[in-house]
């Protein structure tokens, strides 16, 4: 896969916290294997926020699960490497994985606020998470839990509340507190605010940004909402049908998207200001991943397709410094 090229440049910096190389994940099914993730490479540096954007079925959540090795059959990692601080995650034993998860990488899911244990107080749930990994007294751990609730903006006094006593936004804050409990250098957030109302979403996003500044962890932020990503990310990778089709600094991607899919995504959001102009969205639907389209996977929906698009896979290429795109429009050398 040509995408490996992306990681080569990142290797050169030699400081990646998480390094994903040519990752492949398949779901075995009765009608053939679904290639949910097909040759994905990217890196996250300490303190960096990398956004992964894509529609349902683009493989973004599968990547998160593959990094944490929590994929359930029929999903299997069929190729590639995942390195964290130089250690090979795909080679880790179950014992090593126990420490890796939560201590080094924690995760906040979309539905996490509903995954809290309903019969245990939120304080105890944070304390349990700490005690499962650290040999400290329950009293010390409770002190830490209070501190964590403060950090995420929940009044300490609610430490003995049960999940049902908290609103959706507060429950999601509690989940973030649990994810922070062991002070991991990387947090994976998969649609952490999608189930919440916009006002609460804004509060949580501001909170996450503030915590990141204060504590300095890295984030892999996964969402379908590209406008949310532009606000919080340093780097954004756009996924389509199991592959990264464009990757660049958030500003660059927002102001100068090069891939027609990214351009289509950007023109799928009605604006709050400016002229009320007609939007087109993207015609068609995301493809079937059992038999993905030949050549560029986006070609059946692409308004700019030309000769090579339905037969030649476009290479993922750095067309300008730190701006990678897989599209013949920007790389094709042959006849047009």
Partner 1 sequence: MQTGEQAKTPLGQLDTDEIVMDVRHLTKRFPVGGLFSQSKVHALDDVSFTLPRGKIVTLVGESGSGKSTTARVLARLIQPTSGQILYNGRDIVREEPRKASLQYRSEVQMVFQDPFGSLNPAHPIRYSLERPLKIHKKARSRGEISDRIDELLTTVGLEPPGEVAAKFPYQLSGGQRQRVAFARALAVDPKVMLADEPVSMLDVSIRIGVLNLMERLSKERGISFLYITHDIASARYIGDQTNVMYAGRMVESAESVELIDEPAHPYTKLLLSAVPNPKAGLKVNELTARGEIPSLLDPPPGCPFAPRCPFAMPVCRETMPGISVIGPQHWVRCHLFPQPAESGG
- Interacting residues with partner 1 (CB under 8 A): 55-56, 167-169, 197-203, 205-206, 209-210, 224-228, 230-232, 254, 264-265, 267-273, 276, 278-283, 285-286
Distance CA 214, CA 140 (A): 22
Q: Which residues pair with 220 in a beta bridge?
A: 50, 188
Taking the complex as a whole, the smallest distance from the CB of residue 82 to partner 1 amounts, in Å, to 27
Taking the complex as a whole, the smallest distance from the CB of residue 8 to partner 1 amounts, in Å, to 30
Distance CA 207, CA 174 (A): 12
- The smaller minimum CB distance to partner 1, of residues 118 and 270, is found at 270
**Contacts of residue 251, Cβ cutoff 8 Å, sequence gap at least 6:** 230
- The smaller minimum CB distance to partner 1, of residues 179 and 228, is found at 228
Q: Which residues pair with 44 in a beta bridge?
A: 18
- The smaller minimum CB distance to partner 1, of residues 57 and 80, is found at 57
- The smaller minimum CB distance to partner 1, of residues 92 and 200, is found at 200
Take residue 97 and report the two structure tokens written for it.
């994985």
Taking the complex as a whole, the smallest distance from the CB of residue 170 to partner 1 amounts, in Å, to 8
- How far is residue 288 from each of residues 3, 56, 117, 172, 294, measured CA to CA in Å? 21, 12, 37, 33, 12
Take residue 299 and report the two structure tokens written for it.
């070609």
Taking the complex as a whole, the smallest distance from the CB of residue 21 to partner 1 amounts, in Å, to 28
Angle ∠(172,178,184) on CA atoms, nearest 5: 120
Taking the complex as a whole, the smallest distance from the CB of residue 155 to partner 1 amounts, in Å, to 12
Bridge-based pairing of strands 18-27 and 75-84 is antiparallel
- The smaller minimum CB distance to partner 1, of residues 200 and 215, is found at 200
- The smaller minimum CB distance to partner 1, of residues 167 and 311, is found at 167
Taking the complex as a whole, the smallest distance from the CB of residue 232 to partner 1 amounts, in Å, to 6
């Amino acid at each position: 896969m040509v995408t490996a090229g992306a990681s080569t440049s990142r290797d050169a910096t030699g400081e990646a916290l998480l390094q994903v190389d040519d990752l492949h994940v398949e779901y075995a099914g009765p009608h053939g294997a679904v290639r949910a993730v097909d040759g994905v490479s990217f890196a996250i540096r300490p303190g960096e926020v990398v956004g992964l954007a894509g529609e349902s079925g683009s493989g973004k959540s599968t990547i998160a699960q593959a990094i944490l090795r929590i994929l359930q059959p029929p999903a299997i990692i069929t190729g590639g490497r995942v390195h964290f601080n130089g250690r090979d995650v795909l080679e880790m034993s179950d014992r090593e994985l126990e420490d890796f998860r939560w201590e080094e990488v924690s995760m906040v899911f979309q539905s996490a606020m509903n995954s809290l244990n309903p019969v245990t107080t939120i304080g105890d749930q944070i304390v349990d998470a700490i005690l499962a990994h650290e040999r400290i007294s329950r009293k010390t751990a409770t002190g830490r839990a209070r501190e964590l609730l403060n950090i995420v903006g929940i009044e300490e006094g609610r430490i003995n509340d049960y999940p049902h006593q908290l609103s959706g936004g507060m429950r999601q804050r509690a989940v973030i507190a649990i994810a922070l409990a062991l002070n991991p250098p990387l947090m994976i957030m998969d649609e952490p605010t999608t189930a919440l109302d916009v006002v609460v979403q804004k509060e949580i996003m501001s909170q996450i940004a503030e915590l990141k500044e204060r504590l300095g962890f890295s984030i892999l932020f996964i969402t379908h909402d590209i406008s949310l990503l532009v606000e919080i990310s340093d780097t954004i990778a756009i996924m389509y049908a199991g592959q990264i089709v464009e990757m660049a600094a958030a500003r660059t991607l927002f102001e100068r998207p090069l891939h027609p899919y990214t351009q289509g995504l950007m023109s799928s959001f009605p604006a709050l200001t400016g002229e009320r102009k007609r939007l087109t969205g993207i015609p068609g639907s995301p493809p079937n991943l059992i038999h993905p389209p030949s050549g560029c996977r986006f070609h059946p929906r692409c308004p700019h397709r030309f000769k090579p698009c339905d037969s030649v896979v476009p290479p993922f290429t750095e067309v300008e410094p730190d701006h990678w795109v897989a599209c013949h429009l920007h790389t094709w050398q042959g006849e047009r």
